[in-house]
């Protein structure tokens, strides 16, 4: 049984005793199913009470890791402004899965007004994965006030993935040094490294960098295996470049684009012409 949203209950006036009773029953059922670790709660169609954060938040510090993990996932589906406070609380969880999930989910709830709080966690958090996710979120929020703390943390960071995320965030925010470093990565000799740099452009989302992709449209070396789990089917660096350009420039090509396609010479030429 899926818990229905109280807002969808028919024949109930907002604030009525009947509606409050319905909402209370739904919230009690939600809490009961979280305690049972019933992950079917998140099966489509997902409909949880949007104002049940207060009832679910105590479960975020439950002794059972599975309960805490599901509680964090349920809170993420709530539109309540208090949801992000519950997720911030979960960043301190002793289990890496729970705190990592909370860090990822903050993207759905934070705005530019939360930059100071995010920066404080970035500076102090001991989990490198959490720092990685917070850095990426700070870049996406677009507040240039985050540049200095990101630069300071980047200088101190020892973990490669977190450091890489901070560099990407700074590139997205317009840091000239990190932008130059990114362009160098695009032009590195290793084809797999070039592919990784190309795909980072999907995060950076800077259309002015499209011109830097043009040389990679001439790179016909295999760069990415897109075959099934037990097979191999390689697309080239130039193919990945077309796919990235298609997404970055909001689907400008008239030919069919696919993540597993090896493009013809004519299609590659069209991509070059578009950049020019």
Residue 235's SS3 state is: strand
Please, are residues 97 and 69 in contact by the beta-carbon 8 Å criterion? Answer: yes
- What value does the mean pLDDT take over residues 186-197? 97
For residue 79 the two structure tokens come to: 């539109």
- What DSSP element (H or E) covers 182? helix 176-186
> What whole-number percentage of the chain has pLDDT above 90?
84
Using CA atoms, how far residue 215 sits from 38, 90, 139, 251, in Å, is: 51, 45, 27, 20
Please, are residues 257 and 249 in contact by the beta-carbon 8 Å criterion? Answer: no
At residue 79 the predicted structure's pLDDT band, cuts being 50, 70 and 90, is confident
For residues 217 and 240, what is the distance between their CA atoms, to the nearest angstrom?
9
| DSSP code for 264 | -
Whether the per-residue pLDDT at 11 is higher than 90: the answer is no
pLDDT of residue 18: 46
pLDDT of residue 16: 58
Whether the per-residue pLDDT at 7 is higher than 60: the answer is no
Q: Which CATH class is domain 1-109?
A: mainly alpha
| DSSP code for 109 | T
Sign of CA dihedral 16, 22, 25, 27: negative
For residues 141 and 16, what is the distance between their CA atoms, to the nearest angstrom?
39
pLDDT of residue 23: 59
Q: What is the pTM of this model?
A: 0.88
Classify burial at 214, counting beta carbons within 10 Å of its beta carbon; exposed 0-12, middle 13-18, buried 19 or more: middle
- What value does the mean pLDDT take over residues 172-185? 98
| C-alpha dihedral, 5 to 6 to 10 to 11, nearest 10° | 180
pLDDT of residue 12: 39
Whether the per-residue pLDDT at 250 is higher than 90: the answer is yes
pLDDT of residue 46: 80
| pLDDT tens digits, one per residue of 44-71 | 888 788 789 999 999 999 999 999 999 9
Q: Which residues pair with 235 in a beta bridge?
A: 224
pLDDT of residue 8: 37
């Amino acid at each position: 049984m899926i818990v229905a949203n109280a807002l969808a209950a028919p024949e109930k006036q907002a604030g009525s005793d009947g509606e409050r009773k319905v909402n209370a029953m739904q919230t009690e059922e939600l809490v009961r199913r979280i305690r049972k670790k019933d992950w079917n709660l998140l099966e489509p169609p997902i409909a949880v009470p949007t104002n049940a954060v207060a009832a679910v938040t105590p479960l975020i510090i439950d002794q059972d890791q599975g309960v805490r993990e599901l509680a964090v996932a349920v809170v993420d589906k709530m539109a309540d402004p208090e949801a992000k406070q519950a997720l911030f609380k979960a960043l301190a969880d002793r289990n890496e899965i729970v705190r990592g999930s909370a860090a990822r989910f903050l993207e759905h709830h934070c705005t530019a007004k939360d930059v100071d709080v995010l920066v404080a966690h970035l500076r102090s958090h001991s989990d490198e994965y959490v720092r990685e996710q917070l850095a990426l979120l700070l870049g996406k929020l677009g507040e240039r006030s985050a540049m200095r703390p990101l630069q300071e943390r980047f200088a101190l960071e020892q973990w490669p993935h977190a450091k890489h995320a901070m560099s990407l965030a700074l590139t997205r925010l317009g840091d000239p040094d990190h932008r130059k470093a990114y362009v160098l990565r695009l032009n590195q000799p290793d084809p797999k490294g070039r592919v990784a740099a190309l795909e980072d452009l999907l995060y950076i989302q800077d259309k002015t960098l499209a011109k830097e992709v043009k040389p990679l449209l001439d790179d016909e070396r295999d760069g990415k295996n897109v075959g099934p789990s037990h097979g191999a089917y390689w697309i080239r660096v130039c193919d990945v470049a077309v796919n990235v350009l298609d997404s970055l420039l909001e689907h400008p090509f008239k030919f069919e684009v696919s993540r597993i396609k090896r493009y013809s010479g004519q299609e590659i030429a069209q991509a070059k012409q578009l950049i020019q």
